[in-house]
Amino acid sequence: MSKYDYLVVGAGLYGAVFAQEAAKHGKSVLVIDRRPNIAGNVYTEDVEKIHVHKYGAHIFHTNDEKVWNYIQKFATFNRFTNSPVANFHGELYSLPFNMYTFNKMWGVVTPEEAAEKIEAQRREAGIKEPKNLEEQAISLVGTDIYEKLIKGYTEKQWGRPCTELPAFIIKRLPVRLTFDNNYFNALYQGIPVGGYTKMVANMLAGASVQSGEDFGTGAASVGTGSIEVHVGVDFFDAEGAPRKDLMELAGKVVYTGAIDAYFGYKLGYLEYRSVRFETELLDKPNFQGNAAVNYTDRETPWTRIIEHKWFEFGKDDEGNDIPKTVISREFSSEWKPGDEPYYPVNDEKNGNLYAEYKKLADAESGVIFGGRLGEYKYYDMDKVIASALDMCEKELG
């Protein structure tokens, strides 16, 4: 007899949603994570009362009513709206591409003038059907904006020329002929008050987070089900194979790590981009006046600087002004074994390799693969939650 109904590998969003839902259905769930903390890449760490997004900025946004209603059960969201600033060699532009950007770039004043300018540049480039990110970008916003605000940033972030990247990546960004610099076309947006770690802890039903493998202690009850959380537990053995002893603890496994890692990379490596953060605590109240400043030129080595306090308006949880500030410079690099994978590189080559891994995953009885890494998809948080909820419906009824 297995000790638990489910073993969830990875205490990020996908794993936390699954654990919550399974426990509500009366199941016993053991959640493990390799890191010393829960919450995966949405983890926030408190520094001088600032919730620092340790694995990169996360701004929750969605058009999915079901996901929005769901997530409200675990956190109150503030009214943060993402409006990053682009810094091109010291020239500042409003993002995403909107009338403020077009005015600064070309001096145009009306939406008609902006549209004409974009159309003229698109015609000159002679692009009929965009086949890659460069062509897609130029046909959306013209060559000037492509050169100053897209090319350098994208090539730094992805480490590949824009002509070799899929067009869909740039379609994530809105282009607007209005003075609206909300980065997302989402009905709902915000940051969980108190940080993401607290939100994920609530999803895990407040189970005490234990270090190590002393399984069988500290479970939180959810109705007739339960959740138990152990961090600092590596699912893989020294040879890089899934640990049999852990798998045998449960009837079924929900695995949210990298799909190629699960199979010991036996079909080859899927490509990911990794990110390195240089985080500093500064003895001043305001460094850049905005949560995100993107450095869109090719020469600045970092892609962006995040000033974490502005996700929460520079206030602590009691509403007091915070006299210090924490900033993180982000450096993008090609993932290699041992690094943290962040962004799947969803081009054709990797798509084909993923399809082969997916066949292996489908044939792996008793294991469900999910999340950004388990499904090898450039998912936003809301899509991860939606995917987890869909899977819960199939799995739990």
Give the integer Cα–Cα distance in Å for 266 and 360: 11
CA 14 centroid distance within chain: 12
- CB closer to ligand UDP, 169 vs 270: 169
User: For residues 157 and 273, is the Cβ–Cβ distance under 8 A?
Assistant: yes
Q: Could you tell me if 227 and 29 are in contact, meaning their C-beta atoms sit under 8 angstroms apart? A: yes
Query: In this complex, which beta carbon is closest to ligand UDP, that of residue 347 or of residue 356?
Result: 347
Minimum CB distance to ligand UDP, residue 153 (Å): 4
Active-site entry in 21, 330, 375, 382: 330
What pairs with residue 211 in β-bridges?
Answer: 231
How many Å separate Cα 126 from the centre of its chain? Answer: 35
- Smallest distance from ligand UDP to CB 294, Å: 4
89 binds ligand UDP (CB under 6 A): no
Nearer to ligand UDP, 226 or 328 (CB): 328
Going residue by residue from 291 to 330, which x/- string records binding to ligand UDP, judged by CB under 6 A? ---x-x----------------------------------
Concerning whether 378 is annotated as a catalytic residue, the answer is yes
Q: Which is nearer to ligand UDP, 18 or 272 (CB)?
A: 272
Is residue 375 within 8 A of residue 369, CB to CB? The reply is yes
CA 164 to chain centre: 23
Q: Does 105 bind ligand UDP (CB under 6 A)?
A: no
Our finding on whether 82 is near ligand UDP (CB under 6 A) is no
Tell me which residue of 309, 317, 319 sits closest to 285, measured CA to CA: 309
> Is the Cβ–Cβ distance between 304 and 332 less than 8 Å?
no
Which residue type, as a one-letter code, is found at position 305?
A: I
Residues 2-41 that bind ligand UDP (CB under 6 A): none
Name 279's bridge partners: 328
CB of 174 to ligand UDP, least distance (A): 10
Instruction: State yes or no: residue 139 binds ligand UDP (CB under 6 A).
Output: no
Contact status: 172 vs ligand UDP (CB under 6 A): yes
| Residue 380 designated active-site | yes
In the complex, what is the shortest distance from the CB of residue 169 to ligand UDP, in angstroms, rounded to a whole number?
5
CA–CA gap between residue 390 and residue 396 (Å, rounded) = 10
Three-state SS at 135: helix
Binds ligand UDP (CB under 6 A): choice among 150, 167, 253, 388: 150
- In this structure, the strands spanning 343-344 and 272-282 are antiparallel
By CB under 6 A, tell whether 87 contacts ligand UDP.
Answer: no
User: Which of residues 136 and 226 has its CB atom nearest to ligand UDP in the complex?
Assistant: 136
Catalytic residue among 123, 172, 276, 298: 172
The verdict on whether 304 is a catalytic residue reads yes
The question of whether 329 is a catalytic residue gets the answer no
Cβ atoms of 288 and 326 within 8 Å: the answer is no
Which of 23, 170, 204, 222 is in the footprint of ligand UDP by CB under 6 A? 170
Contacts of 86 (CB under 8 A, 6+ apart): 92, 93, 94, 95, 101, 148, 149, 153, 293, 294, 296
Using CB under 6 A, list all residues that contact ligand UDP: 86, 95, 149-150, 153-154, 157, 169-170, 172-173, 294, 296
Active site residues: 172, 176, 273, 304, 330, 378, 380
